[in-house]
Structure 1
Amino acid sequence: MSSTSARPVSSASEVTTGLALMFLSVMFSPLIDIFAKLAVVTIPSAEVTAGRFFVQALCMLPIVIWRRSFADFSWRQSLFHAIRGLIITVSMISFVTTLKYMAVADAIAIFFVEPIMVTILGGIFLKETIGWRRYTACGVGFFGAMLIIQPSFQEVGYIALLPVLSALCIAIFVLMTRVLSHREDPWAMQFQMGIWGLIFCAILLFIGDGSGSDLFDPVMPEGSAWFYVAGVGAMAAIAGIFGVYAFRAAPASTLAPLQYFEIVSATIFAWLVFGDFPNAVKWLGIAIIMASGLYILWRERRFASKPVSDTSEATLAP
């Protein structure tokens, strides 16, 4: 979760197609976390993350071959891709670790401060013009996140801050992707991301072998654990593909608000699978985060400023 934005839309049918594909993307995205939460019970976080990258890259490989995207690989940018791979690895391991201790809906809701972080970092590093209204909305959004983090912090301690770290990594990842995305094929970029992520996970698992760490000490999956790990990667690939084609069919400014539906779908899936359901205070925090994020998107759209988070790879977030 690359092209910087979708091409101009020429018909209402394309917008409808884009909306339908984005809806499917946000419906499949929470399943990544459902499978990850099931897998991390018996498998270390780095191994679950490695499984995701492996299956995701494997799913992308036929598309990369069919599109002849290997020709678009920029090997001179390998260091850049490696840094992106390292950042996404840290983000995924942090989020998967969170899922071991926190409810899926709570973790995803906290993670959705990511668009707010992209807005702030874009203003600082990419010199985006960000007015006081959007900065105020960012502050309100962080307040909403604190309403979720505070009770979670009492329950699980510093683990409750890991979704914030994950969101920060994804925000940096999105900004780096934007710098490179106008020069490279989105499928090639996603494939390289998976390969580099897999390499970094392999290094961490090699170092952690025999350490007893529930983050880095590899184990041999047994029984249904194989299915859970495969499910993480498969759902990530499916959600990513739907997201890419959604952004190709319709403007990002039209699709972005739908991404917040992921919080709702995550809550439904988590309730069905684990029986988890946010309390009233957490629902208030979720509502504030969604409202602040949607306001930021509305301001960007109203003033025709290109959203700094406008990349199709953003759909690959946890």
Structure 2
Amino acid sequence: MSISPGANPPARSRTAAAPDVMTGMILMVLTVLMAPLIDIFSKLATSSVPAAEITAARFLLQILFMLPIFVWRGAWPRFTLRSSGFHALRGGVITMSMVCFVMTLKVMEVADAIAIFFVEPIILTILSSIFLKEIIGWRRYTACAVGFLGAMLVIQPSFQEVGYIALLPVVTAFCIAISAILTRVMAHTQDPWSMQVETGLWGLAFCVVLLTLGSGTGSAVFDPVLPDAQALLWLLCVGFSAAVSGILGVYAYRAAPASTLAPLQYLEIVTATLLGWLVFGDFPDPIKWLGIAIIIGSGLYIIWRERRFASKPVSDAAGTAIAP
């Protein structure tokens, strides 16, 4: 799952030149092909490394991999009190989302966890109506309800297998929806690369605090360990995959409107299923496939409905809500 500190792009016009749109679509396909590798390598690392440490390593390595581009562009963060507060909040919710998702990957199939996470557009739709005053009609609310029913078809058998941890992808989705709203508010005035680095630094700081507090407690989530060579390799792969997918995603959204690219993100479920089957031998059963199909269908309907009938995209509405 591609959860990047600055994954959401600055708002842009719904119209774009055809070559740019095609470039954006190609880059988005490459993004969703790369993103599940983050989860595959994270799951491999969970055999010996706690979730908070994997999250910290991802923040650190992702920043380091992006640092040459960041320096070359000269997009230095502007550390003001108000913007830093927004970045700190984003860093906090993203940290929580990552830790929860890595905890999930330790015991759940990658495809199941990602499928449940894809209720995020549904949660974002509801939160946007509350906080950004988006006008959401009954059709989209109905699609949200249907999407949650689809998620339950995936959660229910997983709940029987692993217990309450099967609900953590929903917590992740809720956190990422909050992060998306904050990002859309900030993106009008800040460079996306600068946002990635500053939020990543805050996320890394939160992880260090959690690991410090968890040191010596024996917690499988927060007690840090010294990774062996194999675990270090998995952590490097996590950071590299996150950095590459994040970069591809940024440039995809700079080339094409979000409404055009959003449906392509659901290809991540297909890629995750294939990789999970090849690496771990996991494959969803028919009931889970039905739930996945319902989640995808409801998400695509929400995207289509917003694209066709919304007077303003959520990102535009966000710009009038709060200015950082």
Q: Structure 2 length normalisation: TM-score?
A: 0.93
Distance 2:262 2:239 in 1: 23
Residue 156 of structure 1 is matched in structure 2 by 162
Are 2:54 and 1:48 equivalent residues in the alignment?
yes
Residue 207 (structure 1) shift: 0.6
8 Å CA contact retained: 1:92, 1:166: yes
Letter in structure 1 aligned against 2:94: I
Q: 1:305 to 1:98 in 2, by over 3 A?
A: farther
Distance 1:71 1:247 in 2: 21
Are 2:270 and 1:264 equivalent residues in the alignment?
yes
Residue 273 (structure 1) shift: 0.4
Letter in structure 1 aligned against 2:257: P
Letter in structure 1 aligned against 2:140: R
Residue 109 of structure 1 is matched in structure 2 by 115
Q: 1:209 to 1:249 in 2, by over 3 A?
A: same
The one-character-per-residue Cα deviations of 1:43-85 (angstroms, maximum 9, x if unpaired) are 0000000000001111222222111111655454212211111
Q: 1:173 aligns with which of 179, 186, 206?
A: 179
Indicate the SS of the match to 1:281: helix
Are 2:217 and 1:211 equivalent residues in the alignment?
yes
Residue 240 of structure 1 is matched in structure 2 by 246
Residue 314 of structure 1 is matched in structure 2 by none
Residue 123 (structure 1) shift: 0.3
Distance 1:7 1:40 in 2: 41
Letter in structure 1 aligned against 2:250: V
Letter in structure 1 aligned against 2:210: L
8 Å CA contact retained: 2:77, 2:198: no
Distance 1:307 1:10 in 2: 15
Residue 224 (structure 1) shift: 1.1
The one-character-per-residue Cα deviations of 1:175-214 (angstroms, maximum 9, x if unpaired) are 1111111010000001111111110000100111110000
* Equivalences, count: 310
Superposition RMSD in Å: 1.4
Distance 1:115 1:81 in 2: 22
Distance 1:2 1:102 in 2: 27
Q: 1:24 aligns with which of 20, 23, 30?
A: 30
Residue 276 of structure 1 is matched in structure 2 by 282
Distance 1:296 1:284 in 2: 18
Residue 308 (structure 1) shift: 3.1
8 Å CA contact retained: 2:16, 2:255: no
Q: 1:287 aligns with which of 290, 293, 303?
A: 293
Task: Choose 61-70 or 205-214, whichever is displaced more.
Answer: 61-70
Residue 66 of structure 1 is matched in structure 2 by 72
The one-character-per-residue Cα deviations of 1:11-54 (angstroms, maximum 9, x if unpaired) are 32111111100000000000000000000110000000000000
Unaligned residue ranges in structure 2 (runs of 5+): 1-6, 317-324
Distance 2:315 2:78 in 1: 23
Indicate the SS of the match to 2:217: coil
Unaligned residue ranges in structure 1 (runs of 5+): 311-318
Q: 1:297 to 1:305 in 2, by over 3 A?
A: farther
Q: Structure 1 length normalisation: TM-score?
A: 0.94
Indicate the SS of the match to 2:22: helix
Distance 1:7 1:292 in 2: 25
Distance 2:140 2:71 in 1: 42
Q: 2:305 aligns with which of 299, 304, 312?
A: 299
Residue 316 of structure 1 is matched in structure 2 by none
Q: 1:284 to 1:158 in 2, by over 3 A?
A: same
8 Å CA contact retained: 1:118, 1:308: no
8 Å CA contact retained: 2:111, 2:284: yes
Q: 1:173 to 1:161 in 2, by over 3 A?
A: same
Letter in structure 1 aligned against 2:21: V
